[in-house]
Amino acid sequence: MGGALSLTPLYSSSDGNSTMVTVNGHHILIDLGRNCKQCTLALRKVGVYPDDIEAVFLTHSHSDHISGVKVFMKNHQTPVYGTRQTLSRIGTELSGLLHEIPEKSMTEFKDFGMKVASYPTHHDAAGSVVYRIANTETGRSLCVMTDLGYITEGMLDFCSGCDGGLFESNYDPFMLENGPYDYVLKKRIRGNGGHISNNECSQLLEFLLSGGTSRFVLGHLSPINNTPEIARRTITEYLGSKGYIEGVDYHLGVAQRFEPTKGISL
């Protein structure tokens, strides 16, 4: 966890998502998609107290990203940042702790040496964004990019040159096509407002590798339409076909569904 800039997935899947990013000893969360008790237990497992969380940044309003935030902010008086559409799902009871940000924004915490940039995605939740967190003292940065819908040139520009991050690798196309979901849900997942597949993630990581990014964690894997083994194999085989060797040219982890995962420390 340590270092001047680090990323630690607390849990990640369709059942709930939360990623802790630490800059110069200051902790923020990207999303809080399980209940407050579960998030508190996850934080304690990585040696962090809930009151040490300086802020929560929300990517969008789906329950697997926001379900625990209202109780958490009430219990710990934690500031919460998000787009207008996302914050509207939190309610107004604690409006003094809510901070609206545009879809394309830069939030700076000068005392922490931290900047948090956001960029819109095409996921089917209004106001959905991804984040890039930078250590302003070292110039290094990490991205948290899930629920992408599809990858745009703007997204590529946004994450280009980052040092690493957590990137969506939601489903295996064969498992989705032959799995238990009905046609409408399958269409939604693979559509422009849904998620990206292992194959699409492979191409995103190839782009990032070509620009010098080398540390990756796969996140938001579907427990029905994917497995960590299939996701990892798909990506390492694809990158291998392009001449990139895991452990030499890049490091690859997979975020666990319910437990904290060793992430990235720079």
Average of pLDDT values for 225-252? 98
d(CA 10, CA 257): 9
Cα dihedral 116, 122, 128, 131, rounded to 10, equals -20
Could you tell me which residues come within 8 angstroms of residue 249 by beta carbon, excluding any fewer than 6 positions away? 209, 214, 239
Residue 266 lies in a domain: no
Residue 219 lies in a domain: yes
What confidence category does residue 95 fall into, taking pLDDT thresholds of 50, 70 and 90?
A: confident
pTM, entire model: 0.96
Residue 265 lies in a domain: no
Residue 148 lies in a domain: yes
Residue 23 lies in a domain: yes
pLDDT per residue as tens digits for the range 21-71: 999 999 999 999 999 999 999 999 999 999 999 999 999 999 999 999 999
Range of the domain at 42: 5-260
pLDDT surpassing 80 at residue 92: no
Mean per-residue pLDDT over the chain, rounded:
96
Instruction: Say how many domains are in the chain.
Output: 1
pLDDT surpassing 80 at residue 204: yes
Write the CATH number for 228.
3.60.15.10
What confidence category does residue 3 fall into, taking pLDDT thresholds of 50, 70 and 90?
A: low
| DSSP helix/strand/coil, 121 | coil
- Sign, Cα dihedral of 246, 250, 255, 256: positive
Average of pLDDT values for 255-259? 97
d(CA 71, CA 58): 14
pLDDT surpassing 60 at residue 1: no
Percentage with pLDDT > 90 across the chain = 96
Q: What angle do CA 27, 59, 94 make, to 5 degrees?
A: 70
Q: What is the DSSP string of 25-47?
A: TEEEEE---S-HHHHHHHHHHTT
Q: Is the separation of the CB atoms in 56 and 21 below 8 Å?
A: no
What are 135's two structure tokens? 């250590």
pLDDT surpassing 70 at residue 201: yes
